[in-house]
Amino acid sequence: MEYSERSSETAYITIVEGPPPEFSEVNTDWTASLAEGTSRSVIATCETRTMNGEALVERCRQAWQRGRSARLDFPKPDDGGRAEAEIIAARWQRVSEGQKLILWVKLDETQELEEDDLT
């Protein structure tokens, strides 16, 4: 995982190694309002190992405090290309293997992710 700013508008967290994230759809009261908008979307969560979870979460918080968005850049499961999703919440945990980053993301229905990608 790495953090980069591709523009002054958006902060990116990029998965550079390992498999694509596995997304799990989230259906809770607080996430339902986040899925509302002009396009249909799904709120999902994913977990990934990291070596700097605290710093990645802090960078998301800083972007949000400045009115910028944070996005996850990750490998597509099928063709090895890249995909993106808006990060709407983030936290990290210490686990026996090191650190784990937990992200809640907004997946647009128009993205190339198939229903089968959601567990």
Flag whether 20 is in a domain: yes
Which range has highest mean pLDDT (14-28, 88-102, 103-117)?
A: 88-102
Would you state the pLDDT for residue 6? 47
Would you state the pLDDT for residue 3? 47
Flag whether 17 is in a domain: yes
Positive or negative, the CA dihedral 98, 93, 13, 21 is: positive
Flag whether 119 is in a domain: no
> What are the beta bridge partners of residue 12?
4, 71
Our count of domains for the chain comes to 1
pTM: 0.79
Flag whether 14 is in a domain: yes
Flag whether 117 is in a domain: no
Query: Mean pLDDT in the chain?
Result: 82
The mean pLDDT of 42-59, rounded to a whole number, is: 93
Q: Are strands 41-50 and 24-25 parallel, antiparallel or unpaired?
A: antiparallel
Contact assessment for residue 40 and residue 99, using Cβ atoms and an 8 Å cutoff: no
Flag whether 68 is in a domain: yes
Q: Which amino acid is present at 31?
A: T
Q: Which helix (H) or strand (E) holds 58?
A: helix 53-65
Coil, helix or strand for 34?
Answer: helix
